[in-house]
Structure 1
Amino acid sequence: MSTKTQTTEPRRPRRRGPYAKTAAVRTAILDAALDVFAESGYRSGSLREVADRVGMSEAGVLHHFPSKSALLADVLDRRDVRALEVVPFDQEDGEATLRGLVRLAEYNATIPGIVKLFAVLSTEATSPDHPAHGYFIARYARTRGNLRHAFASLAAQGRLADGVSPERAAIATIAMMDGLQVQWLLEPGILDMAAQLRRFFQGFVDIDF
């Protein structure tokens, strides 16, 4: 009979792979950049300040994002991904789109830094040489198109007020949302963005919010 004792080597903790670590660092940089650009604007906000907030060197930031403009592009993309999770534009269901926009207004009230970033950048980007100039032109064109289709589907159902065209409704909706955001940023306590947007839609669309 064998008296040899078998031993089991203790299980080593699983190490996080390099991909997970890199993704975590990129996320931290994007969050820091969002804060810096929201507070100072893109032109005044520096990569050094972004790097300081994540406890790394400027060269370290540039290892993950080759330029400041590339970092800005990813920050904007991240914002859009989050927004689409709240408002999945469905061109065949105009009511769902408008309800989604109200939910987005509610969500935006919980993320003032991102709302401020958008307001600051959209103003700065009116300059043709701004790195986000093309992004905002494309974004507004895409948003107008999505909303135009949403209102057209409601018009086909007889739920859009007489004399209001889908194009006019789309432009007015964007103007309303942008204007509400600026007023809310200046004085957060004076209005409820979601409530005001509901009232706006009820003025020319047959939807019971």
Structure 2
Amino acid sequence: MTDLATSTSRTVPVVPDARLGDSQRARLQVLEAAITMLRRYAFHEASYDLVASTAGVPVAEVKALFPTWESLLIGTLDLWHGRRTAPILPVAERHGAAAFLRALVQSNIEDPGLMRVLSATVNIAATPGHPMAPHLHEAWRHFHVTVMRQLAKDIEAGREPDTMQPARGAEQLIALYEGLQLQSMVRPGMNMLDAFDRAVTRMRDGWSKTYTPPVWDLDIT
């Protein structure tokens, strides 16, 4: 899971400071500090102490606002991802799902910190009983549904062929996006945008053909 639901923050509203109450302003200050901290440090190094020192406030104040580490992480990811995604959402309506994912790739290249953090949460999402897992599962499902619905609109608009099933297309497009993102993090010299463009072009060409179930005739004995 390397992306969240395409929505703005549910924890702290993205509104001008003048319209925030003291408590909301304090929470926003801490979340801003958490974003800065996660850009500087690896996910496994993150801590209340680092957030507090980055924000310039006592650790006790951070814990009073976010009593659990999970609540602080969720708030941080929601705010960070919401700000990253909001300006990109119009791309989907104007140019389609594939262009939307490409815009996310470009944004991740410009600010790789968020993608590193989201990739680190995969282990959390896959851990049974972890308090953050349900939130991450919901976020990923929302992301898949968002892409799927946009692909359905793309078919109606003639941007994509009707031989492509939106649910399957979303699986494939997201798999390509997430898989290449992961590769780019362990292959520093990789041209992520070029790799995405080439792979999407090949995939969309396949969408224009009627699907034929493969026959695997493998002799492994």
Of the structure 1 ranges 54-63 and 115-124, higher mean CA displacement relative to structure 2 is found in 54-63
Distance 1:112 1:138, change over 3 A: same
Distance 1:72 1:32, change over 3 A: same
Residue 87 of structure 1 and its aligned partner are, at CA, apart by 2.9
Residue 119 of structure 1 and its aligned partner are, at CA, apart by 0.5
1:12 paired residue number: none
Cα shift readout 1:134-156 (whole Å, capped 9, x = no counterpart):
12211121111121122222334
Cα shift readout 1:74-106 (whole Å, capped 9, x = no counterpart):
112113312331332788x48333322211211
SS at match of 2:121: helix
Equivalent-residue separation in structure 1 for 2:100 and 2:114 (angstroms): 18
Equivalent-residue separation in structure 1 for 2:78 and 2:32 (angstroms): 12
Name the larger-Rg structure: 1
Equivalent-residue separation in structure 2 for 1:84 and 1:112 (angstroms): 14
Residue 24 of structure 1 and its aligned partner are, at CA, apart by 5.7
2:68 paired residue number: 67
2:171 paired residue number: 171
Distance 1:170 1:36, change over 3 A: same
Residue 161 of structure 1 and its aligned partner are, at CA, apart by 4.9
Residue 204 of structure 1 and its aligned partner are, at CA, apart by 4.0
1:198 paired residue number: 197
Equivalent-residue separation in structure 2 for 1:156 and 1:17 (angstroms): 43
- Name the aligned partner's letter for residue 152 of structure 1: A
- Name the aligned partner's letter for residue 200 of structure 1: A
SS at match of 1:128: coil
Q: Which runs of 5+ in 2 are unaligned?
A: 1-16, 206-221
Of the structure 1 ranges 32-41 and 133-142, higher mean CA displacement relative to structure 2 is found in 32-41
1:136 paired residue number: 136
2:180 paired residue number: 180
Of the structure 1 ranges 156-165 and 96-105, higher mean CA displacement relative to structure 2 is found in 156-165
After TM superposition, the score normalised by the length of structure 2 is 0.70
Equivalent-residue separation in structure 2 for 1:205 and 1:84 (angstroms): 24
- Number of equivalent positions: 188
Residue 51 of structure 1 and its aligned partner are, at CA, apart by 1.4
1:154 paired residue number: 154
Equivalent-residue separation in structure 1 for 2:21 and 2:198 (angstroms): 45
SS at match of 1:190: coil
Equivalent-residue separation in structure 2 for 1:123 and 1:129 (angstroms): 12
Distance 1:132 1:202, change over 3 A: same
Bigger RCO of structures 1 and 2 (CA < 8 A, at least 6 apart): 2
Q: Superposed, which structure 2 residues align to 1:33-112 within 5 Å?
A: 33-34=34-35, 36=37, 39-41=41-43, 45-88=46-89, 93=93, 95-112=95-112
Structure 1 runs of 4+ with >4 Å offset: 16-25, 35-38
Equivalent-residue separation in structure 2 for 1:123 and 1:27 (angstroms): 27
After TM superposition, the score normalised by the length of structure 1 is 0.73
SS at match of 1:189: coil
Do the aligned partners of 1:94 and 1:154 also contact (CA within 8 Å) in 2? no
